[in-house]
Structures are given as structure tokens and as C-alpha cells.
Amino acid sequence: MAHADLVALGWTADRDSEFAAIAEADVVPGRVSLEHNHVYRVLTGEGERLAETAGRIKYLASGRNELPAVGDWVAVRLDQQGGRSVIRAILPRRSVFSRRAAGRETIEQVLAANVDTVLIVFGLDKPVNTRAIERYLIVARRSGAAPVIVLNKADLAEDVGESVAEATVVAGDVPVHAVSTRGAPGVSRLVPFLALGRTVALLGPSGAGKSSIVNVLVEREALPTGEVREWDARGRHTSVHRQIVVREAGGLIIDTPGLRELQLWDAGESFGDTFSDIASLGDACRFRDCRHDREPGCAVKAAVDAGTLDAGRYESYLKLQREQAAFEKNRDERAAIESKRKARLGSKAIKAFQKQRGR
Ligand code: GDP
Ligand code: ZN
């Protein structure tokens, strides 16, 4: 099974038994490289194919998050007549990158799966936005992939060292790299993350230079950038998609263009990891479950007053904490509605059954 082509796509030996367990005839492993309107581009040992999802997967999925996503390993039945192939199963995800989908409802949107390293990219054409770094770090940490902060457009920075220092304060133990696609320091310092079969995802506000970085790393114009991307040569609005770009020299890159907002999806433990300084200050609060908001005897607020904890960071903590609390409340409400719906379906089925027996 450990076909050289599959290894280049990120296949590892531990996937062999997972794939064998699917036990379906005529399926081969493939990696989802793009999704558009429920049609998937899948990279296989036999080349690239277009595929659809088997009805069974759609039927069993309790939400969008259980449908194939870019980066997923799948078992796909190839169509030999040149038609659409069929994704029969999704292999377990090693890491999942989610956000709360835009809109009012609480829906998990998987941005990418099976990512090893997340490059969080910001542009130094703007001041370092430590608040945004905190938000992206929570999402990246939660995914299970290793985060790295990339400060691009170093050529435009007044003082690169100063910017790196500012970012490092909130990054903690996460590495920070300054790069430029237009000169020194180049993006070559990101190449070590692109060993054979390793998957890197780029995340960050649009305009930070993510697509430009990908193009330099893969040494070709794989992705449209800047204005070219928004409007094509004829002035039509072009759409962009998350997709995997395979790097010939090794590694795979997933670009996530066009993210206007990154709302938290179940921050969980990554919240405390990102604000570990506040967490440890909190050990000295009067109440064990202190939320460091309006509680008396709060050591975190005391640190802000004493000037040992940055007030901006504290505000950011409260804001993200409220967002997470709202998320949890919303999720619990949805779960309650869903279980009521299921119960109603159940009692309907029982009544129908009794009626049938009564006949
Ligand atoms: P994305 O939205 O994050 O994918 O950003 P793009 O790759 O489309 O880049 C946005 C704009 O920034 C484009 O006009 C790029 O040419 C420009 N750009 C990208 N990298 C650099 C850089 O290192 N230095 C400078 N000065 N401009 C850059
Ligand atoms: Zn407190």
C-alpha cells in the first residue's frame, strides 16, 4: 500500500490498517484537494479525479463537519468510464481545523483536515495586531496542528526586530518568523515545514500575502494573488477556493483564502494555552471559578491595575471568553432542540407501528 505517490501526498504507514478496515471492494485511497458545490477533486495514486460523496455518507452525517473536507483521506471508488468517482468513506482525521461558519446559526465549518503545521500569516504593512494573533492562535492550537506565526512583507516594516518582539510576547512558545516574498529575509525559512508528505496550511487575514507565499514556495504561479484574484482580466469577479497545492520538491500546502472572519469554534483547552499567563495569575484569585470579570479578590484584575498585565490583553481575554460562553450556550440549546426532534420522530414511529399492529 505504501505507494511512493501516496507518501508524497501525506500517506503514512498507520493509515494502512485504517484503510483495510473499510473493507470495500474496488476502493483506493485518495486525498481531497478541493471542494466546490459538493464536487471534490481527489488526488490518488492513479492521478487526479472528480468525485461525489456516497449517499450513505450524506445520510449518516449529522452535520457539515462529517462530510469530506480539503485535506481528508478518503476511500474512493474510481469510475473507469471517465465519470464521477465516489467517496465511500472518510479516514479518521489527525487534525481538524474548524471555525464557526459565518451566519447566525452555530454550525461547524471544517476549513482543513490532516494538517501538520499551521502558518498564521500577517502582513507587516500594518501594525502587529496582537489581538488577532491571539484569536488565530486559539483556533490553530485547537486544530491539533503545530502553529507558527509568520510576519510577511518584512520589506515594508520599519523595524522588523521590534515587530517580531511584539508578536513573540503573545506567541509564547510558538515560533515567530519574519519573511518577505519580495526580498530578504525570504520565505526559504519556511521550507523545513515542507518535508516529503508534510502538510502545511496558511491562515490569516486576506491581503497578508498567503497566496504569494505559496507561489514562491512551489516555484510557480499556482494561485492568483491580490487584485488579480478578486477580478479576472475581463473584470469578472473570480471565486477562490481552499485547495491543496502539491509542492514538487516535497510537502503540500493548503491555502485558505477569503476568510473575512474567524469566529471561534469550541476553543476548549487551547483557550487556556493561549492565555497561560492569565491562567497562572488566576491561581491566586479568591474564587476558584473566578472568570476574572467582576469577581472580588481577582488576582488578574489586580495585575492589570498594578501594570504587570497588559490591559489590552486582558480585554481581549474577556472578549474571547464571552464569545466562547455564547458559543457553548448556543450549542447546548441546539443539542436540546435536536434531542426533542429525535424524541418526536421516535414517538411518531411508535404510533405508526401501533396503528399498523392494531389493523
Ligand atoms: P492573501 O490574500 O493573503 O493570499 O494575499 P496575496 O498573496 O494575494 O497578497 C496580497 C498583496 O500583497 C498582493 O498585492 C501581493 O503582491 C502583496 N505582497 C505579498 N507578499 C508581499 C511581500 O512580502 N512584500 C510586499 N511588499 N508585498 C507583498
Ligand atoms: Zn480572577
The fold for domain 3-90 equals: OB fold (Dihydrolipoamide Acetyltransferase, E2P) (2.40.50)
186 lines ligand 1 (CB under 6 A): no
pLDDT cut 70: percent of the chain above it = 86
Backbone angles phi, psi at 137, to 5 degrees: -65, -40
Model-wide pTM > 0.85? no
Residue nearest to atom 18 of ligand 1 (CA): 209
Instruction: Please state, rounded to an integer, the average pLDDT across all residues of the chain.
Output: 86
Please give the pLDDT value at position 55: 86
Pocket mutation for ligand 1, best pick of 136, 152, 212 (most atoms within 8 Å of C-beta) = 212
Please give the pLDDT value at position 154: 97
Give tens-digit pLDDT for 64-118: 788 999 999 999 999 888 889 999 999 999 998 887 776 666 677 788 999 999 9
Give tens-digit pLDDT for 131-145: 899 989 988 888 889
Torsion of CA 86, 92, 97, 103, to 10 degrees: 60
Residue in 192, 230, 188, 232 with CA at minimum distance from that of residue 213: 188
Please give the pLDDT value at position 53: 94
CA–centroid distance, residue 281 to ligand 2 (Å): 8
Q: Which ligand 1 atom sits nearest the alpha carbon of residue 181?
A: 23
CA–centroid distance, residue 269 to ligand 2 (Å): 18
Distance CA 198, CA 213 (A): 17
Structure letter (DSSP) for residue 266:
-
CA–centroid distance, residue 217 to ligand 1 (Å): 14
Structure letter (DSSP) for residue 283:
G
Residue nearest to atom 10 of ligand 1 (CA): 207
CA–centroid distance, residue 172 to ligand 1 (Å): 26
Residue in 148, 154, 266, 271 with CA at minimum distance from that of residue 204: 148
Pocket mutation for ligand 1, best pick of 136, 225, 253 (most atoms within 8 Å of C-beta) = 225
pLDDT band at 1 (very low <50, low <70, confident <90, very high): very low
Q: Over 60: is that where the pLDDT of 233 sits? A: no
Give tens-digit pLDDT for 137-183: 988 888 889 999 999 999 999 999 999 999 999 998 999 999 999 98
Distance CA 75, CA 28 (A): 6
CA distances from 113 to 39, 96, 297, 328 (A): 17, 5, 43, 23
- The H or E element spanning position 150 is strand 146-152
Give tens-digit pLDDT for 267-280: 677 777 888 889 89
Q: Which ligand 1 atom sits nearest the alpha carbon of residue 255?
A: 4
215 lines ligand 1 (CB under 6 A): no
242 lines ligand 1 (CB under 6 A): no
Q: Which ligand is nearest to the CA of 284?
A: 2
Q: Which ligand is nearest to the CA of 153?
A: 1
- Which class is domain 96-255? alpha beta
Give tens-digit pLDDT for 16-59: 999 999 878 899 999 999 988 889 999 999 899 999 998 888 87
Query: Which residue would you say has higher pLDDT here, 324 or 261?
Result: 324
Cell 469554534 -> residue: 265
Please give the pLDDT value at position 2: 45
Give the rounded distance of the alpha carbon of 9 from its chain centre.
18
29 lines ligand 1 (CB under 6 A): no
Q: Domain extents for the chain?
A: 3-90, 96-255, 275-359
What does CATH list as the number for 275-359? 1.10.40.50
